[in-house]
């Protein structure tokens, strides 16, 4: 396929013929602001000092590619943040920042396929570190805001790799990570929305624009214009774990006395119950809600055992224990692993019900 084609509403592909498989890739790289998360952090910080419209206008022009020098653009915007208290950033983190729809599901599917995950951001470590922990991301690169007396100075701190993570640095980090993993750039997926994402997207085997600026949509191999990040799984098929290893349906057969009608009824009931649990787990992972993760792990472990999903049940037990121990990063990583396992369980049950 060379010309672009809308394969379903709001999902456009060009220069390849879908579907591909996640198993063909080893690394996925994400931009953060307006890609993995719902906000432009620099704009929201500026809101604390009444300068959001001024900063947002520069951000928008930069992301559209109308301002070529990203580094200078960012320096100008950060200078306008002088005097913002760290507490204002914490409030943004707690009350405004959310993962974009489908982010947790896509990252989970990639990790289930054995892929590593890279976050490269022209934003700030104050936020990217939290997103990394929520999603269990393997590699990150972002900018550090200078702080004195709990106030932003309007400057950034140079790091060992350089001063600012711009488009060239995103490309460099993608290549460095490929080298560390011993893979080729053709084995990577890069996802972004702005002009500064194009250098890394141009190196990747598959480039994905998410609710992106026109210039980015035009150059990307996949453009997700409506819906969540997990719409990529309509183009790149997810890895479904070995169904035989994931499920022993003889457990449910024994529970219902080998009654086919009861088997169908209870199997569908169990699937519905687990789906409800996973929705709450996804939301709790987004919010870092350990109490809900512990409760959902406890609820799901016995349900899973009743349908013979011993491995899934064990993961739910691990989720309950790590969440109770307040090990946020581990609990979120376990919670994110449940959905791809559930896909294997559901596929096996649906196959059984179809016979």
Name the residues annotated as catalytic: 31, 33
Tokens of 235: 């183009």
Contact present, 34 and 144 (Cβ < 8 Å): no
CA–CA distance, 221 with 6 (Å, rounded to integer): 12
Q: Which single residue is written with the structure tokens 């002009």?
A: 195
Contact present, 297 and 320 (Cβ < 8 Å): yes
Angle, alpha carbons 307-311-312 (nearest 5°): 65
Residue 299: count of CB within 10 angstroms of its CB: 18
Here the contacts of 206-209 (C-beta below 8 Å, separation 24 or greater) are: 206/16, 206/20, 206/25, 206/236, 208/232
């Amino acid at each position: 396929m060379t010309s672009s084609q809308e394969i379903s509403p709001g999902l456009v592909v060009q220069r390849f013929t879908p579907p591909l498989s996640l198993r063909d890739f080893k690394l996925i790289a994400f931009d953060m602001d307006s890609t993995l998360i719902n906000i432009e952090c620099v704009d929201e910080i500026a809101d604390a000092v009444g300068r959001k419209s001024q900063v947002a206008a520069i951000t928008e022009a930069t992301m559209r590619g109308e301002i070529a020098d990203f580094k200078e653009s960012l320096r100008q915007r950060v200078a306008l943040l002088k005097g913002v208290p760290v507490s204002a950033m914490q409030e943004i983190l707690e009350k405004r920042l959310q993962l974009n729809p489908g982010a947790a599901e896509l990252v989970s599917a990639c990790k289930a396929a054995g892929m590593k995950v890279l976050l490269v951001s022209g934003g700030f470590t104050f936020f990217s570190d939290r997103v990394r922990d929520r999603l269990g991301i393997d590699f990150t690169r972002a900018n550090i805001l200078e702080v004195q007396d709990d106030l932003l100075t309007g400057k950034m701190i140079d790091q060992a790799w350089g001063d600012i993570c711009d488009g060239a640095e995103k490309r460099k980090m993608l290549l460095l990570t490929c080298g560390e993993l011993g893979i080729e750039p053709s084995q990577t997926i890069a996802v972004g929305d702005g002009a500064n994402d194009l250098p890394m997207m141009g190196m990747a085997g598959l480039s994905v624009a998410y609710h992106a600026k026109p210039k980015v949509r035009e150059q990307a191999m996949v453009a997700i214009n409506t819906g969540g990040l997990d719409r990529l799984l309509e183009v790149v098929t997810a890895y479904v774990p070995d169904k035989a290893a994931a499920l022993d349906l003889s457990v449910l057969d024994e529970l219902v006395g080998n009654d086919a009608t009861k088997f169908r009824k209870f199997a569908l009931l169990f699937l519905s119950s687990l789906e409800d649990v996973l929705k709450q787990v996804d939301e709790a992972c987004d919010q870092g809600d350990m109490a809900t993760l512990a409760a959902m792990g406890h609820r799901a472990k016995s349900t899973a055992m009743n349908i013979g999903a011993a491995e899934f049940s064990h993961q739910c037990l691990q989720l309950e224990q790590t969440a109770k121990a307040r090990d946020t990063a581990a609990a979120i990583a376990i919670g994110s692993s449940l959905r791809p396992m559930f896909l294997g369980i559901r596929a096996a049950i649906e196959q059984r019900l179809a016979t």
